């Protein structure tokens, strides 16, 4: 099995439950781990025999542009798009972190992680 990952993809977005969060926006970080079992074609050194992490980034970027109230919804929308594009994925993890969430104290980040595992 191979895991292709994207770590620390940072975006400015307007996600948040409170109206002020959607007006002001915030910085978010997305991490994606995508796992699959390759066929024997990996020795051919061709990008189309694996998962292009640029596509992981572009899907995350596209979904981050749609303002949503919940981080859970953001993570699920990224996951749904990835599973639709890469139907051979066996395991997928999407984490969305909100940096400096407005909680009235010092908090580095809040996050939500959604994990998919293909049924056996």
For residue 45, the domain's CATH number is: 3.30.1130.10
SS3 of 1, please?
A: coil
What pLDDT is recorded for position 34? 96
For residues 99, 111, 67 and 20, what is the CA-based torsion angle, rounded to 10 degrees? -50
Q: What percent of the chain has pLDDT over 70?
A: 92
Q: Which of 3, 91, 97, 98 is catalytic?
A: 98
Domain range for 21 is 2-117
| pLDDT exceeds cutoff 90 at 39 | no
The pLDDT tens digits for 45-103 are 666 677 889 999 999 999 999 999 999 999 999 999 999 999 989 999 999 999 988 88
98 catalytic? Reply is yes
How many whole angstroms separate alpha carbon 98 and alpha carbon 89? 26
Do 34 and 92 touch, CB atoms closer than 8 A? yes
Q: Residue 50: its pLDDT value, please?
A: 79
18 pLDDT tier (thresholds 50, 70, 90)? confident
Q: How far apart, in whole angstroms, are the C-alpha atoms of residue 4 and residue 120?
A: 21
Give the count of domains, the chain.
1
Separation of first and last alpha carbons in the chain: 15
């Amino acid at each position: 099995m191979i895991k292709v990952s994207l770590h620390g993809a940072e975006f400015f977005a307007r996600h948040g439950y409170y109206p002020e969060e959607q007006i002001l926006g915030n910085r978010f970080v997305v991490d994606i781990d995508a796992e699959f079992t390759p066929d024997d074609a990996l020795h051919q050194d061709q990008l189309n025999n694996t998962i292009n992490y640029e596509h992981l980034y572009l899907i995350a970027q596209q979904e981050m542009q749609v303002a949503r109230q919940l981080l859970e919804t953001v993570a699920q929308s990224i996951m749904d798009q990835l599973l639709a594009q890469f139907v051979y994925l066996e395991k997928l993890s999407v984490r969305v972190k909100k940096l400096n969430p407005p909680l009235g104290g010092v908090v580095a980040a809040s996050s939500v992680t959604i994990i998919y595992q293909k049924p056996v």
